[in-house]
């Protein structure tokens, strides 16, 4: 059991959509992390509450999934509710029914919708027409549930979030975007080290820097991974080729070849750095086997924390 000394504040998230962490305050994000830790501790002692008795989560998947599907489904069951797996190809959505109509219909059947999709515009349209909460399981722009699990893991490993330095090495993708926002909101410094042309979205970076200025932290974008990891408390990476980018795979391997997190790179970080990866991982590409399977890797603790932050989020929203 992990003991975290954080004051829990009442969160007013009932009925809210969860599309991006940019929509939530620092207190709300920290509160979710604290609640997740409490629920994790309760699961160890057998005191797990079941506040969602009779509640149903509809889960729409346009992308394949391991951690998102299992953590949400298991989380709902552990909280006393039920989850419905809805593959987009099995819904009328796959045959041309509009997002708006799908949202209106599902709002009559379930208590919330979680969707894992490609375009962020899809989830925005879904939330516009749904009369129930919509949760972002992943889009091309954001992965907020993953970022919550990342914060919980860093807090467990380091004891606090404020003042920590996180370096993300790799593609400036949805994971990088949510990490920047989440970290800026809680007072962590973030450096994103990406190849030229693969940096995070400029508008999202600007927004994250505004949040960082408000919290007293900083965000740095660099094309030099060795410079990026200097003084890092945590080093994070992701696959070089995300789903939907398979045609770019060989080109990306060449572009990212100097951005592998390996034994040479981590020598420039703090000695007690923690390694993080949202998984699935490609050993020998974005990370060496020695790092991801080494003693400073927390990737499976991080993956396990997806369950606890999902439960915290579901219990607050529902």
CATH top class, domain 146-303 = alpha beta
- pLDDT < 70 positions in the chain: 1-9
To the question of whether residue 174 is assigned a binding role by annotation, the answer is yes
State pLDDT tens for residues 236-285: 999 999 988 899 999 999 999 999 999 999 999 999 999 999 999 999 99
Domains of the chain: which residue ranges? 21-36+48-142+306-317, 146-303
**pLDDT for 6:** 43
Q: Which two tokens stand for residue 167?
A: 């370096």
Return the residue matching tokens 């408000």: 214
To the question of whether residue 251 is assigned a binding role by annotation, the answer is no
Let me know: does 95 contact 117? Beta carbons within 8 Å.
no
**pLDDT for 7:** 46
To the question of whether residue 288 is assigned a binding role by annotation, the answer is no
Q: Where are the beta strands (DSSP E) in the chain?
A: 56-61, 82-87, 112-116, 134-138, 165-169, 189-193, 219-222, 234-237, 274-277
**pLDDT for 109:** 98
**pLDDT for 49:** 79
Domain 21-36+48-142+306-317 and domain 146-303, same fold? Reply is yes
To the question of whether residue 257 is assigned a binding role by annotation, the answer is no
**pLDDT for 9:** 62
Query: Which residues does the annotation mark as catalytic?
Result: 116, 143, 146, 238, 278, 306
**pLDDT for 213:** 98
- Alpha carbon distance 213, 188 (integer Å): 11
**pLDDT for 4:** 44
The model's pTM is: 0.95
To the question of whether residue 167 is assigned a binding role by annotation, the answer is no
To the question of whether residue 188 is assigned a binding role by annotation, the answer is no
CATH topology for 21-36+48-142+306-317?
A: Rossmann fold (3.40.50)
- Alpha carbon distance 151, 26 (integer Å): 12
**pLDDT for 90:** 87
**pLDDT for 108:** 98
Q: Which two tokens stand for residue 71?
A: 């953590």
């Amino acid at each position: 059991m992990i003991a975290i000394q954080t004051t829990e504040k009442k969160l007013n998230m009932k009925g809210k959509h969860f599309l991006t962490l940019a929509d939530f305050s620092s207190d709300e994000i920290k509160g979710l992390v604290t609640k997740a830790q409490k629920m994790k501790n309760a699961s160890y002692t057998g005191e797990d509450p079941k506040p969602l008795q009779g509640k149903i989560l509809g889960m729409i998947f346009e992308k394949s999934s391991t951690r998102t599907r299992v953590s949400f489904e298991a989380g709902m069951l552990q909280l006393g509710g039920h989850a419905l797996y809805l593959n987009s190809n099995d819904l009328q959505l796959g045959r041309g029914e509009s997002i708006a109509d799908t949202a209106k219909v599902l709002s009559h059947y379930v208590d919330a919708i979680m969707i894992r999709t490609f375009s962020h515009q899809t989830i925005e349209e879904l939330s516009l027409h749904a009369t129930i909460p919509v949760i972002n399981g992943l889009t091309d722009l954001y992965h907020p549930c993953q970022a919550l699990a990342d914060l919980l893991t860093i807090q467990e490993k380091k004891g606090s979030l404020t003042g920590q330095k996180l370096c993300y090495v790799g593609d400036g993708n949805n994971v990088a975007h949510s990490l920047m926002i989440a970290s800026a909101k809680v007072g962590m410094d973030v450096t994103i080290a990406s190849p030229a042309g693969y940096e995070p979205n400029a508008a999202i970076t600007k927004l994250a820097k505004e949040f960082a200025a408000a919290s007293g932290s900083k965000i740095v974008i660099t094309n030099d991974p060795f410079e990026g990891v200097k003084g890092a408390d945590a080093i994070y990476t992701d696959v070089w080729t995300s789903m939907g980018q398979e045609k770019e795979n060989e080109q990306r391997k060449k572009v990212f070849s100097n951005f592998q997190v390996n034994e040479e790179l981590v020598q420039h970080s703090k000695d007690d750095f923690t390694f993080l990866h949202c998984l699935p991982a490609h050993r020998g590409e974005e990370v060496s086997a020695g790092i991801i399977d080494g003693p400073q890797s927390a990737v499976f603790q991080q993956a396990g924390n997806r369950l606890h932050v999902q439960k915290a989020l579901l219990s607050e929203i529902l």
